[in-house]
Structure 1
Amino acid sequence: MHIQPALIALLAPVLCFTSALPAVGSQDEVLKGAENGDIAFGRYDPALQGLSLWVAEADGSHQRRLTYDQANFSDWGPEGRLIVFDFTDDTGVHIATIDPDGGHRTTLTSAPGVQEAPKWSPDGNSIVYDGFPFPVDEANFAISIWVIDADSSDPRQVTRNALDVEPVFSPDGTRIAFGRITGDSPDGQLEAIYVINSDGTGLREVVAPRAGLEHPDWSPDGRSITFNIAPENPAAADSGSILAVRPDGSGVRVLQPATSGFKFFKAVWSPDGRRILSGCVEVKASIDRICTISRGGRINIIVAGAQRVNFPSWGPAD
């Protein structure tokens, strides 16, 4: 589910491709000059009954905690010097930025309701997110895509009258990919992938609705939109796999299949396009980890521990 757990009860009333792709990080996907920096992720805190924001080096070492309130989605600015994230308070879910050392936390949104899943524009001037206001209008409930300037000014609505979640800018900043929740099925929530121009024009479907589809991301070279099929959706043959599609909707394929040891979720690209950072369910232990996936499908656990982890993001070197 994309809607945050604390809101599920509130919103309850309204709410097989197998062709091969070249190995993750094939040469034509590597971005010249891009360098990988630190990662961010959420770690469960029993005192919060939710996740707080952490950062670490790219191999998972030198982990340090940034927030002591509940935080979920995060994304690194294009220069690696600022992280945008969403956090929960008594008025809903909002968006803030913070330095990688935990300093200079700045709240960007504060309207009652939900503003979540923020992503930077490639030039660092804007942030895209999804949201809806409180109180909830159950008869006309919608989740919309919004863009706001990085200084918190000029919020503008990009989509309307649907359930649109987890937007991400294309690498050139001209388009936004996002998930659109379209209903339910016996096999789980139905979601499609759409692309729209950043000014709100040119809406089109890229991947038709299917059960368990979630968490789109755009490859750094602009050639693919990736997503996963929910690990908890056993009816799908590709449950727990990472898939990819061209932005024009062609060439849907499995990028990284689930294995006997791991199922994957919330996969994001490294800045250089050589690796993928992903949530990974360690099947035998039945616990969520953070993994990297490199060429040839090599999987390395980089964040583990007794508490579950989630919402990975990978920043560039500053």
Structure 2
Amino acid sequence: MNTAAFTTLILIGFHVGFSQDIPTSTGRTLLITSVRTGNTDIFAVDPVTGTSINLTNAPRSEERYPAWSPDGRRIVFTSNRSDGKTYDLYIANADGSQTRALTHLPAGAVAYWPSFTSDGKYIYFNEGNTSQIYRVRPDGSDLKAMAQGRDGNISPDGKQIVYTQQGRNGFGVWVMNADGSDRKQIIPHESQIGGIAPVWSHDGRKIAFSGQVGDYAEIFVCNADGSGLAQVTDLKKISSSPAFSQDDQYLTFRVTEEAYWRDAKTREKTYQEKEADKRPVWLVKTDGTGAQLLEVLHYHCAMDGSRAEWKPLAKK
């Protein structure tokens, strides 16, 4: 698909600024990174009332890229608390207690974007310096390098990884088996902006990602094989880091005015300044309607690319 074809996809039902109730079927707790304390910490937040709990409360380190366990009883995240420069993977109870390291990576390594398999047996995560995708068990055992790729996200059944890699014109959306075999590019259009961040729906049938449209990045959804591609947002900004709600009917995503991660100096400056409204969380239905800024999160989201992840609903 060429760029022209990509930008003429039918947009589906945009209504920016529409205020709506968030149904209980989505869950009512988001896991985010926040700078409201002056540090980058992990918070659990009610997206309607704004009620929030600091789960890490670590003033001398940076905590980023949180994710829920499938049963909602634990969280994983990355932190540089060991030496100030190495981002290892950590796990804690859902209330932030009993935090412990899962990895002890080489100095300067950057673990990010962990994701659980739905049975809770493995956590897959990415290492930024080597573009390597790893897996580890929740007790820290069986750490294994699985495949080369960027921004990998494991499918709920643990069989496939959706990820990005450099193509001829930028980064595309690819799928491979969890062991790195059978690599397929499912979205031929490639983005020079980056920040693709593909993610599986909870039923494993859909993938959401950030795709370039002209000078901007918008959120798209497709079937697991790349078919049924639909543009979900039309904000004409840099929209990224989508996450499906528990019922797969909504997406949260992050919005900023510039892709500051493309330049090392600009990225470092942005992270140091910690502007509280630099990259807030938005919400949209997967059919493209009801796009809105989550106002309760407007002025304390961190600048990293973490998803605003929905807490799993309690099983009946």
Q: TM-score, normalised by structure 2?
A: 0.75
Q: What stretches of structure 1 of length at least 5 have no aligned partner?
A: 1-15, 25-32, 133-140, 231-235
- Spell out the pairing of 1:137-148 with structure 2 (5 A cutoff): 142-148=130-136
Q: Matched residues in 2 for 1:306 and 1:41: separation?
A: 10
How far 1:108 sits from its partner (Å)?
0.3
Contact 1:41 1:309 in 2 (8 A): no
1:217 matched residue in structure 2: 199
Deviations for 1:96-132, whole angstroms, at most 9, x for unmatched residues? 1122222111210112222222111111110001126
Q: Matched residues in 1 for 2:199 and 2:37: separation?
A: 29
Is 1:245 paired with 2:222?
Answer: yes
Q: What stretches of structure 2 of length at least 5 have no aligned partner?
A: 1-5, 15-23, 259-275
Q: Which of the pair is proportionally richer in strand? A: 1
Is 1:62 paired with 2:51?
Answer: yes
Pairing partner for 1:79 from 59, 71, 79: 71
Pairing partner for 2:147 from 148, 159, 166: 159
Q: Please tell me the residue identity of whatever aligns with 2:54.
A: R
Number of residue pairs matched?
Answer: 269
Contact 1:18 1:253 in 2 (8 A): no
Pairing partner for 1:123 from 119, 122, 138: 119
Pairing partner for 1:102 from 96, 104, 110: 96
Q: Matched residues in 2 for 1:258 and 1:203: separation?
A: 32
Q: Matched residues in 1 for 2:25 and 2:177: separation?
A: 25
How far 1:308 sits from its partner (Å)?
4.6
2:232 aligns to what SS in structure 1?
A: strand
2:186 matched residue in structure 1: 206
Q: RMSD value over aligned CA atoms?
A: 3.0
How far 1:60 sits from its partner (Å)?
5.2
Distance 1:256 1:102, change over 3 A: same
Is 1:279 paired with 2:254?
Answer: yes
How far 1:293 sits from its partner (Å)?
1.6
Deviations for 1:222-280, whole angstroms, at most 9, x for unmatched residues? 222111136xxxxx437231012322233333122226xx6522111111112111113
Pairing partner for 1:19 from 9, 13, 24: 9
Moved more, 285-294 or 264-273: 285-294
Q: Please tell me the residue identity of whatever aligns with 2:232.
A: L
Q: Please tell me the residue identity of whatever aligns with 1:299.
A: Q
Q: Matched residues in 2 for 1:307 and 1:59: separation?
A: 15
